[in-house]
Amino acid sequence: MNKSIVAGMLALALAGCASQQPEQPFTLTVAHINDTHSHFDATDARLELGNQALFTRLGGHPRLQSHAESLRRQAEAADQPLLFVHGGDAWQGTGYFKLNQGAMNADILSRMRLDAMALGNHEFDLDNERLAAFIGGVDFPVLAANLDASRDPHLSGLENLRPYVLYEFDGHDKERLESMDDAGDDPVVAVIGLVLEDMAEISPNLGELIFEREVLAAQRTVRALREQEVKHIVAITHLGLERDQRLAKEVNGIDLIVGGHSHSLLGNFSNLGWDQNEPYAQVFTNQDGRGKTCVVQAGQYAQAMGRVSVTFTPDGRVSQCDGGNTLLSDHAFFRDIRRAEQHRLAGQDAARVAAFIEAQPNIALVEEDPALRAHIDEQYKPALDRAYGEVIGHVPVELKHVRLPGADGQGSRVAPLVAASQLYWANTPAVQAVTGRRADFALVGAGGVRNSLEPGELKEGHVSLELLPFANAMSIVSLTGRQVAGLLLEAINGTLPEGAHTGKFPYSAGLRYEFSETSKGRGYLSRIEHLADGRWQKLDPQAGYQVVMTSYNASGNDGWNTLYTAQQVLTDRLDLAFVDGRLTAFPVARLSKASGGGTQVHYINQPLECNAEGVRCNTDAQAFIDYVRDQRPVLTELTPATVTLNRL
């Protein structure tokens, strides 16, 4: 064939390809939330506004909805593309989830008109059948490119569970595509999802699911999308900030990562008396040295919404990425956390606060969406109010929960109380009559404690629905002193590296230890003692001890692998739950690994089935309720601390 004809045909072909993607720069705006944890109502917050400590409420889903609608109106007026996405962990966190489980989340999130959501680890807290009901019940795609659900009877074949979704934009108008075969001449954005690769260490209810390596699955998915000539790729992830940054550096071709899991409120909030965190919208160079990836995340508990704008060059590379997180505040401010009417700001004081907030770039006064507020109040809130039950005590000052002690050595004020409650409860005559044992000490994983305790009344529901919402059975297991020390070393060293999952950090009662960091992220136990006969004694490596903890941690979850190893062949562990109102012990024979990587508990006689009729497993919450009611009706922190962490 004549070379000029070939050249002409090639030019026409290239012109045709070019016509499919406009040559002018393309700018995409993404509104995003993550780790909302069923905080459908606003959460209490302390702010410092103009050197004045004030108390208000932040966020909640009606306020998120109102702000999202405002961003949509702005984008529509400017004829600009907009996506609204969720970075995972919509589940757990409040009594709403305890009462309604995934059904309320599906209802409320669908009303918010999300474009996509990543699967978080807490979406696996129930079982795959109820997760499937949630995924099938929402009207937006749920994404996880590194999840293989093909062998799971509940999640395989779910149309709404996808590795990625495609959106084509004509200005503000967008259309969801089934494939690039349906694309026209307008820009197409692919949104992919990524879930934690080590989910088996976190969740025990994974069925036949397989979780692939995050980096490998991401690169494979990006490569497939590039082969389809998709130029713009957004990843919504539930990996944590450090892994998002690693992903940005090691994977070629992701333009924007919208993250979750580490609850990172990126940006400088020191103007409000909060922390100065890592910058919002950091840009990282890909492994190939050419591509750029922007990384964002938006805090926790539906308090804030992020808004990032990414501008692309005509060939699809990121040329600019900027934006920020905005805390969404109620209009009412109080001088005292008790929020009595006499504490409320009014007149000129209220006007000054409003003017101060108006001048800040990272907080806004936002009214709740009235329709969503009314729907929650009518359909869900009455049952929540009934479920909170009786007052069991009072908290005179805030007890703050932090997972990992900071550089100042200050750790959680709540987790030691939880540990103390478990030790107390295990040694009450009623429990000892069932177990025939006396517990020596208690260990608590920081991630099992879900929130701080605010001043005021403490009701049963504050414990069972918020503080300890996972309905874990209490366990008593025999361990040697050597195994206890190994567990502490494993758990502490696992939490120290930058960006590590700190939920595994161990707090204690009846046991105290000092850990000294010797190099970045590593260290040794310089002291470990237990309380016996009223005095502290050195832990004997050869001696056996009765240790009380939740069944979740006792099975080696959350990185407490020493416990799995100790019980792999044989164990004398007892799990404790109520059956028809009667406390019952369930002896455990051994542990094994299921095919999906989770831990399987083998009981000697009748298995403990927490979902069975008449079975109530939340003895962890019951222990705390009994402890406060019987021993600490005025709940203050325990001193001195049993955990000492010396950081470099």
Write down which residue in 317, 347, 379 finishes a domain.
379
* DSSP 8-class letter at 112: T
State residue 11's pLDDT score: 40
| 599's tokens | 């831990």
Structure tokens at 144: 């996880």
Q: Are residues 540 and 478 in the same domain?
A: yes
Model confidence pLDDT, tens digit, residues 152-165: 999 998 999 999 99
Share of the chain above pLDDT 90, in %: 83
Rg of the Cα atoms in the chain? 26
- 506/559 Cα distance (integer angstroms): 11
In a domain, 573, yes or no: no
640: preceding bond cis by omega (within 30 degrees)? yes
Q: What is the pTM of this model?
A: 0.76
Classify residue 15 as exposed, middle or buried by CB count within 10 Å of its CB (0-12, 13-18, 19+).
exposed
Domain membership flag for residue 5:
no
pLDDT tens digits along 254-278: 999 999 999 999 999 999 999 899 9
Residue 4 has pLDDT above 70, yes or no: no
Q: What is the pLDDT of residue 17?
A: 42
Q: Kindly report, residue by residue over 438-464, the tens digit of the pLDDT.
A: 999 999 999 999 888 977 789 999 999
- Per DSSP bridges, beta strands 26-33 and 304-312 are antiparallel
Report the pLDDT value the prediction gives residue 409, as an integer from 0 to 100: 81
The pLDDT of residue 521 is: 77
The enclosing domain of 289 has a CATH number of: 3.60.21.10
19 has pLDDT over 70 = no
Residue 459 covered by a domain? yes
Q: Are both 353 and 392 inside the same structural domain?
A: no
Q: Is residue 588, in this structure, part of any structural domain at all?
A: no
Q: What is the mean pLDDT of residues 338-350?
A: 89
If asked whether residues 367 and 326 sit together in one domain, one would say: yes
Q: How far apart are the first and last CA of the chain?
A: 73
**pLDDT (0 to 100) of residue 98:** 87
Phi (first) and psi of residue 41, to 5 degrees: -95, 160
pLDDT at 321: 98
Question: By the 8 A CB rule, do 368 and 606 touch?
Answer: no
Same domain, 460 and 484: yes
Q: How many CA atoms lie within 13 A of 345 on its CB side?
A: 21
**pLDDT tier at 397, thresholds 50, 70, 90:** confident
In a domain, 323, yes or no: yes
* pLDDT exceeds 80 at position 204: no
Order of all β-strands in the sheet with 188-194: 173-177, 164-170, 188-194, 232-237, 256-258, 292-296, 282-285
Domain edge (last residue) among 320, 351, 379: 379
Give the pLDDT confidence score for residue 21 in this predicted structure.
44
What sign does the CA torsion over 115, 69, 282, 285 have?
Answer: positive
9 pLDDT tier (thresholds 50, 70, 90): very low
pLDDT value at residue 422: 98
Same domain, 349 and 258: yes
Q: Which ranges of 366-480 would DSSP assign to H, the alpha helix?
A: 370-379, 381-387, 415-426, 429-435, 460-461
What is the pLDDT, as a whole number, of residue 14? 38
Query: For residue 34, what pLDDT is reported?
Result: 98
Q: State residue 50's pLDDT score.
A: 81
Identify the pLDDT of residue 23: 61
Both tokens of 220, joined, read 């494979």
What mean pLDDT do residues 313-333 have? 95
454, 398 contact by CB (below 8 A): yes
Residue 579 lies in a domain: no
Average pLDDT over residues 642-647: 94
Position 500 confidence tier, pLDDT thresholds 50, 70, 90: confident
From CA 535, how far away is CA 529, in angstroms rounded?
10
Distance of alpha carbon 495 from alpha carbon 109, whole angstroms: 32
Q: For 120, which DSSP code? A: P
| Domain tally, the chain | 2
**Cα 53 to Cα 467: distance, rounded to the nearest angstrom:** 25
Give the helix/strand (H/E) hosting 256: strand 256-258
Residue 12: count other Cβ atoms within 10 Å of its Cβ: 10
pLDDT band at 239 (very low <50, low <70, confident <90, very high): very high
Looking at the predicted structure, is the pLDDT value of residue 25 above 90? no
pLDDT, one tens digit per residue, over 105-149 is 999 999 999 999 999 999 999 999 999 999 999 999 999 999 999
* Residues 248 and 315 grouped into a single domain: yes
Alpha-carbon gap, residue 615 to 617, rounded angstroms: 6
Of 379, 402, 437, which one is at a domain's C-terminal end? 379
Average pLDDT on 464-493 reads: 96
Residues 404 and 256 in one domain: no
Domain presence at residue 17: no
Q: Is the pLDDT of residue 16 over 60?
A: no
Q: What's the confidence (pLDDT) of residue 3?
A: 36
331 and 408 within one domain: no
Distance CA 340, CA 353 (A): 18
Q: Calculate the average pLDDT of the chain.
A: 93
* Same domain for 440 and 354: no
Helix (H), strand (E), coil (C) string for 510-561: CEEEEEEEEECCEEEEEEEEEEECCEEEECCCCCEEEEEEEHHHHCCHHHCH
153 or 17, higher pLDDT: 153
For residues 61 and 67, what is the distance between their CA atoms, to the nearest angstrom?
A: 10
Q: Is the same domain home to 366 and 413? A: no
| Domain CATH for 495 | 3.90.780.10
Q: Which domain holds residue 211?
A: 22-379
Q: What is the pLDDT of residue 52?
A: 87
What 3-state DSSP class applies to 318?
strand
Residue 336 makes CB contacts below 8 A (sequence gap 6+) with 55, 343
Say if residue 351 is exposed, middle or buried (CB neighbours under 10 Å; 0-12, 13-18, 19+).
exposed
The number of C-alpha atoms within 13 Å of 424 and in the hemisphere containing its C-beta is 19
In a domain, 235, yes or no: yes
CB 40 within 8 A of CB 92: no
Based on the fold, state whether residues 213 and 103 are members of the same structural domain.
yes
Measured between alpha carbons, how far is 575 from 584 in angstroms, rounded to an integer?
8
Q: Are residues 415 and 373 in the same domain?
A: no
Question: Which pLDDT belongs to residue 520?
Answer: 79
Of 13-22, 83-92, 424-433, 592-601, least confident by mean pLDDT is 13-22
